Chain A
Amino acid sequence: MTSTLRPPPPAPPRSPQEALSPAPRSPRRGRSWRQALRRDWQLYSLAILPLLFFLVFRYLPMLGNIIAFRRFKPGGSIFGEYWVGLRYFRMFLTDPTFWEVFTNTLVLGTLTLLFCFPLPIVLALLLNEVRARRFKRFVQSVSYLPHFLSIVIVAAMVMQLTSIEGTANQLVRLFGGDPVAFLQRPEWFRSIYVSSEVWQTVGWGTILYLAALTTIDEDLYEAARIDGAGRLRQTWHVTLPGIRPTMVTLLILNIGSFLAVGFEKILLLYNPLTYPTADVVSTYLFRMGFQSSNFSYAAAIGLFEAVIGLVLVLSANVISRRTVGTSLW
């Protein structure tokens, strides 16, 4: 895992047109495409199937978003029948339910970011202070475990824990309260969702931080100690700056998936009673598409969501490159 052996990181993905044309501006060692093909055709042949996969199952659906601007008939052409312009966009932008689910998405996304981003850092810092290696290993192994569970299983566990006779209500009764049907109550959904998310991701999230912590130069701590810094100030002035690139990169990635809040988990956990807080853009889109069979409308919402996601990650990346000099590519 020596990074010195590697070539420089790849350039940002260029736009397809620019990259497809045999750009004479940057000839790699002056070779033309014809020469490259003759020399490396076996390598290129290995790329055919994977490229076909990306083309059909990743890029074709991107084009398929065109049905957001067209009338779509189930069973008809996958690109729709005729143009309707921005009708479906106007439809959801004036749909009060859309703005409700949009707000829910922002709230759940913010809460998730607020808890699921910093807690792994905290846990990694705490683990870093443990001297008994076997204890540290044990805590790590246990905390990674939930990451390997299917979302269905996590949802099923949440349901059991929060059921009328489950652990949460056993605690409520212990303190003399009345049992609450947590999953039927909109005011509880956010807490349940975020805690289950934390439970599942916090341990696994420490891996990269723990690895980054081992790369911090020992001399820096020594120097800080000589300057009279205690443990806390060493952590603040040496440890945290040392893992900052990791923090920033993960933050950008987190921001990119901000709008895509746990669609599958919410789909499993919510119900009409909790829609006021639980229904998010992706679940609303899912119901519009598959229960109301309004594919074009749902595709318009999906496209809107995907574009915002892309814009978010790109702007987070630009901001981070300008301010702290860390960038995804």
Chain B
Amino acid sequence: MVILGTKTDAPKTRGPDDSRGYRVFRVVNTVVLIGVVVVTLYPFLNIVARSLSEEAYIIAGKVTIVPRGFDLTAYKLLMSDALFWTNYRNTVVYTVVATLISIVLTTCYAYVLSKPQLKGRTFLIGVALFTMFFSGGLIPNYVLVTSLGMKNTIWAVVVPNAISVFNLLVMKAFFESLPSELEEAAAVDGLNTYGTLLRIVLPLSKAIIATMVLFYAVSFWNSWFTAFLYIDRQDLLPVTVYLRNLIAGATDAQQSGAAAADVVQAAATLQAVTIVLTTLPILAVYPFVQRYFVRGVMLGAVKG
């Protein structure tokens, strides 16, 4: 899959061009881009403001990006909800386990696919690529997972999406870019394939593995539909489905242990608080990991 032959982020200078039209354009351009920033950030600020506001102000439609009638009741309410924390813990567990499985499977397969001399390599790549364009579909998948007895277990969430073909291609491209002399030297030193992979290749691949961990972890952290489909027990749900049930009005207040009257009163605020608390971990690590994502996407786009 050839998308581009890339080099990263070199500043582009097209020499001076100070025609009047272009100067006007640059002002307009800056304004437009600031507009993009504002539109992108506004929903976040709005949600944070709502989460900190008094319900009455929200209902009156007075909250924009500044909290009105500063009120932490909803935070306290949610913090005291045992189900919320159980679900939050589930999300963490599912994410860790799923990411682990994914990384192992993806690394193994990508390493195999990166060996140009391997017989049957084209077929092995085809097996993976074909699933990008054709899939069994919702119903057969559901029937399969159910008949494997995976319903209401962690496995229904962590196994069916273990390998992302895109990530596989990114990793394969990386392995292919490693100099083959290294592995030949390892073979001369008497290391077998497993030894070469573990002691030579993987230590050189820390950066790409970190990127893969991020890709997988974020997608598992954010996923909700698999759990929604395969898990009926409230105490096994991830926090995304908790939020889904909340916005669908399906979470029964009494069931989750909070005082019903309070919950009804604080419904809008509570939603905002749940959104904030669910998004927080992503927002907290985002500034530090963003560039790895960008790098990974480009690596995958070079060649698959």
Contact = CB atoms under 8 A, between A and B. Distances in A.
B140 A211 contact: no
A214 B123 contact: no
A141 B288 CA distance: 11
Say what secondary structure dominates the interface of chain A.
Answer: helix
B9 interface: yes
Contacts of A267: 225
A152 B240 contact: yes
A61 B141 contact: yes
Interface in A16-35: 16, 19-20, 28-29, 31, 33
A53 to B, nearest CB: 6
B7 interface: yes
A96 to B, nearest CB: 22
B32 interface: yes
B139 A54 contact: no
Contact of B19 (A31, A72, A230, A313): A230
Contact of A157 (B147, B241, B275, B302): B275
A58 B144 CA distance: 10
Interface stretch (A185-193, A272-280, A304-312): A304-312
A167 B137 contact: no
B11 interface: yes
Interface string B42-77: 111011001000000011110010000000000000
A184 interface: no
Contact of A305 (B7, B8, B137): B137
Given A152-B243, A153-B275, A167-B64, A11 B39 contact: no
A123 B272 CA distance: 30
Contacts of B194: 42, 46
Contact of A166 (B25, B61, B275): B61
B222 interface: yes
Interface string B166-208: 0000000100110000000000000011100100000000000
B85 interface: no
Nearest to B137: A302
Classify the interface of chain B: helix, strand, loop or mixed.
Answer: helix
A139 to B, nearest CB: 5
A63 B135 CA distance: 10
B15 A225 contact: yes
Contacts, number: 349
Contacts of A173: 61
A60 B144 contact: yes
A108 interface: no
A155 to B, nearest CB: 7
A144 B3 contact: no
Contact of B1 (A9, A44, A164): A9
Contacts of B17: 231
A6 to B, nearest CB: 5
A250 to B, nearest CB: 7
Contacts of A310: 133-134
Nearest to A37: B119
A43 B133 contact: no
Interface in A293-326: 295, 298-299, 302-303, 305-307, 309-310, 313-314, 326
B40 A143 contact: yes
Contacts of A128: 12
A153 B278 contact: yes
Interface residues of B, number: 123
A286 B138 contact: yes
A247 to B, nearest CB: 10
A212 B112 contact: no
B271 to A, nearest CB: 6
A203 B297 CA distance: 13
A58 B177 CA distance: 29
B47 A47 contact: no
B298 A47 contact: no
B297 to A, nearest CB: 5
The 8 closest A-B pairs by CB, nearest first: A61-B136, A13-B126, A64-B140, A302-B137, A150-B222, A42-B193, A50-B109, A36-B119
Interface of B: 1-15, 17, 19, 21-22, 25-26, 29-30, 32-33, 36-37, 39-44, 46-47, 50, 58-61, 64, 104-106, 108-109, 111-112, 115-131, 133-144, 147, 159-160, 162-163, 173, 176-177, 192-194, 197, 218, 221-225, 229, 240-241, 243-244, 247-248, 268, 271-272, 274-275, 278-279, 282-283, 286-287, 290, 293-294, 297-299, 301-304
Interface of A: 1-3, 5-7, 9-14, 16, 19-20, 28-29, 31, 33, 36, 40, 42-44, 46-47, 49-51, 53-54, 56-65, 67, 72, 78, 123, 126-131, 133, 135, 138-139, 141-146, 148-153, 155-157, 159-161, 163-167, 169-170, 173, 179, 199, 203, 207-208, 210-215, 218, 221-222, 225, 230-231, 234, 245-246, 249-250, 256, 264, 267-268, 282, 285-286, 289-290, 295, 298-299, 302-303, 305-307, 309-310, 313-314, 326, 328-329
11 contacts: A10-B129, A64-B139, A64-B140, A139-B36, A151-B224, A160-B50, A167-B42, A211-B298, A225-B14, A246-B3, A329-B1
